[in-house]
């Protein structure tokens, strides 16, 4: 049953995020049953029903105007019997209408990340950005509904994936394309059921460098602690072998529709976290969003300090270079981003703060209620 979120639950979510994050929050404006309601995320909002939600227009902010000319945000939250916890198993769905397409954030999990999963964070960085030694993170997949095709970007663990898809009025058979950012277990777990393909009608797209890595015996032998990950990846590849499409991603700086996988969809090179890690750029009617996979894991510290790396990065130095390059590009081009480990709502703007640092402004964190 889809239930509107209650105001006390909104407050719990905001408190959890704001107490563990330096993320900037902008206000929202919504209409409920024809009645205007303004929310600034710092005060209670009297809007307690399902409604459309968007940032207020600011004439001086051309970036916001440009994006929200095409983007209308609405949120549906399915609530369980328990309140918000640090590691939440509640179901969060957020959908953005971009041009003639819809991008839905399918969140499987909202959780707290550990300091020991990061490398390169100095004591001063920790004191400044992680004073409680934790940071908000998530496990997300994304569903992109284009006029002629439904595209799934990653599949999470598979714990909430199918419920999330069904909540949007679709079934597994309605998914015709699956784009993988990479083949870690929290991105491919939902692709198999009982060792068989969970999406029988879907074609699977994966970068050639990523395929080469996970099918390399030499790479598996060099990483004995990740052997199970290699075996899981190979099971997925075997199950989808007749539907597998390999491609070479392009650079974000020089992206062109001539290199598109589909009209309005491009694979973007984002190597480092894994050897073939790939982001996906979607464009419709002038609006864009970059689903960047695992470019960042700990937004709270890796945005202001891009040199901080994640323990599971295959090539930490390359992941730093990729992160800096993509952050610089999306900030300069005003391209919104969405990430698999970006805490709810999982999508927003990247803003340069100077001196090599960045800030993340999530869209409509007040949820419009």
Domains (range + CATH), the chain = 80-362 (3.60.15.10)
Mean pLDDT of 311-331: 97
Amino acid 93: pLDDT = 79
Reported as a single tens digit per residue, the pLDDT across 350-364 is 999 988 999 999 885
Amino acid 259: pLDDT = 77
> Is the pLDDT score of 252 beyond 70?
yes
Average pLDDT, the chain: 80
Amino acid 141: pLDDT = 97
Amino acid 329: pLDDT = 96
Looking at per-residue pLDDT, the higher value among 355 and 39 belongs to 355
Mean pLDDT of 24-28: 37
pTM for the full predicted model: 0.81
Sole residue written with tokens 């960042």: 296
> What's the per-residue H, E or C state across the chain?
CCCCCCHHHHHHHHHHHHHCCCCCCCCEEEEECCEEEEECCCCCCCCCCCCEEECCCCCCCHHHHHHHCCEEEEEEEECCCCCCCCCECCEEEEEEEECCEEEEEEEEEEEEEEHHHEECCCHHHHHHHCCCCEEEEEEEEEEEECCCCEEEECCCCCCCHHHHHHHCCCCHHHCCEEECCCCCHHHHHHHEECCEECCCCCEEEEEHHHHHHHCCHHHHHHCHHHHHHHHHHHHHHHHCHHHEEEECCECCCCCCHHHCCECCEEEEECCCCCCCCEEEEEEECCEEEEECCCCCCCHHHHCCCCCCEECCCCCHHHHHHHHHHHHHHHHHHCCCEECCCCCCCCEEEEEEEECCEEEEEECCCCCCC
Mean pLDDT of 68-93: 42
Reported as a single tens digit per residue, the pLDDT across 195-212 is 899 999 999 999 999 999
Please choose, from the candidates 186, 220, 103, the residue with its C-alpha nearest in 3D space to the C-alpha of residue 150.
Answer: 103
Looking at per-residue pLDDT, the higher value among 173 and 23 belongs to 173
- The pair phi, psi for residue 48, each rounded to 5°, is -115, 25
Contact of 58 with 65, CB cutoff 8 Å: yes
Give the count of alpha carbons within 13 A of 86, CB side only.
9
Residue 136 CA: distances (Å) to CA of 94, 249, 280, 298: 18, 29, 23, 7
Sole residue written with tokens 């993170």: 137
Amino acid 214: pLDDT = 98
Reported as a single tens digit per residue, the pLDDT across 133-170 is 999 999 999 999 999 999 999 999 999 999 999 999 99
Mean pLDDT of 10-38: 38
Amino acid 150: pLDDT = 98
Tokens of 176: 């015709």
- Residue 38 β-bridge partners: 29
């Amino acid at each position: 049953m889809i239930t509107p979120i209650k105001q006390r639950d909104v407050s719990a979510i905001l408190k959890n995020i704001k107490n563990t994050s330096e993320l900037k929050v902008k206000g929202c404006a919504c209409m409920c049953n024809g009645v205007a309601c303004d929310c600034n995320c710092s005060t209670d909002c009297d809007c307690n029903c399902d409604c459309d939600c968007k940032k207020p227009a600011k004439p001086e902010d051309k970036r916001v105007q440009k994006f929200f000319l095409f983007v209308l945000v609405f949120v549906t939250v399915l609530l369980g019997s328990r309140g918000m916890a640090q590691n939440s198993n509640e179901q969060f769905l957020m959908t953005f209408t971009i041009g003639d397409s819809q991008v839905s954030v399918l969140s499987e999990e909202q959780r707290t990340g550990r300091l020991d999963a990061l490398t390169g964070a100095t004591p001063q960085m920790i004191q400044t950005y992680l004073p409680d030694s934790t940071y908000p993170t998530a496990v997300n997949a994304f569903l992109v509904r284009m006029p002629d095709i439904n595209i799934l970007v990653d599949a999470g663990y598979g714990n909430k994936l199918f419920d999330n898809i069904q909540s949007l009025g679709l079934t597994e058979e309605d998914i015709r394309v699956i784009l993988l950012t990479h083949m870690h277990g929290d991105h491919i777990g939902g692709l198999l059921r009982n060792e068989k393909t969970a999406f029988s009608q879907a074609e699977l797209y994966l970068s050639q460098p990523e395929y080469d890595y996970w099918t390399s015996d030499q790479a598996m032998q060099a990483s004995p602690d990740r052997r199970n990950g290699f075996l899981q990846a190979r099971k997925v590849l075997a199950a989808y072998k007749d539907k597998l499409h390999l491609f070479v991603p392009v650079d974000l700086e020089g992206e062109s529709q001539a290199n598109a996988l589909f009209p309005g969809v491009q694979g973007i090179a984002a190597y480092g976290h894994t050897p073939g890690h790939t982001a996906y750029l979607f464009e419709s009617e002038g609006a864009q969003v970059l689903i960047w996979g695992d470019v960042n894991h700990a937004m709270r510290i890796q945005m202001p300090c891009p040199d901080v790396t994640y323990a599971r990065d295959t090539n930490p130095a390359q992941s730093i270079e990729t992160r800096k390059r993509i952050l610089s590009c999306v900030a300069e081009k005003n391209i919104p981003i969405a990430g698999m480990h970006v805490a709810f709502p999982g999508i927003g703007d990247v803003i340069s703060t100077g001196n090599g640092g960045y800030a993340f402004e999530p869209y409509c964190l007040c949820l419009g209620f």
